[in-house]
Amino acid sequence: MGRRAVDDHSPRPAWPQFGGPAGLFLANLAVLAFSAISGDQFLVWGWRIPFLLSIIMVGMGLWIRLGILETPVFRKILAEERVERVPVLEVLKRQPKLTALARMPEQAPGYIVATFIFTYGTTVLGQSCDFLLSAILVQAASASSGSSSPAICRTVSVARCCT
């Protein structure tokens, strides 16, 4: 039979998209755990431990990336020395409508929510950071199952508001 072709129905193409929600889940789980362990001392020393543990994730990511070969198309571009110096600017120049009308509106709401969710939740709604972290964990778990939006929060926002 030979090799099976990867098509749109194969689970393999979805693995890169799993990284965002999985990272969100693990980061917030670590912050929630160390918030519970450190208690009132979270802003003093508790927030540092999840960041130090992230070194393991960086090492795993680097190990995986170094084990992946470049595609034949990219190797050809490298051989011809056609690599752009600033690829992001090249994308913005060549595809301004696609970038402005498709990608930015897709990503921007998540970053806006990530910036304000903990401040709004604690000050206006009167919720605890632990409750908000738990809600983000539920959201991340549902996002990784494909039933919700992509990851929307950063650990930095959590550390800033949990006083």
- Determine whether 62 is exposed, middle or buried from the number of CB atoms within 10 Å of its CB (0-12, 13-18, 19+): exposed
Residue 150 pLDDT: 41
Residue 12 pLDDT: 56
- H-only helix segments in 39-79: 48-66, 72-79
Angle at 136 between CA 130 and CA 142, to 5 degrees: 140
Residue 45 pLDDT: 92
Residue 129 pLDDT: 84
Residue 3 pLDDT: 39
Residue 137 pLDDT: 82
Rg (CA), the chain: 20
- Map tokens 């160390």 to a residue: 34
pLDDT of the chain, 163 residues: tens digit per residue: 443 444 444 445 567 777 777 887 888 889 889 989 998 898 899 989 998 998 998 998 899 889 888 888 989 999 998 888 898 888 889 988 887 777 777 777 877 776 688 889 989 999 988 888 888 888 777 766 654 444 444 443 444 444 4
For the entire predicted model, the pTM comes to: 0.59
* C-alpha distances in Å from residue 156, one per residue of 53, 73, 132: 15, 37, 14
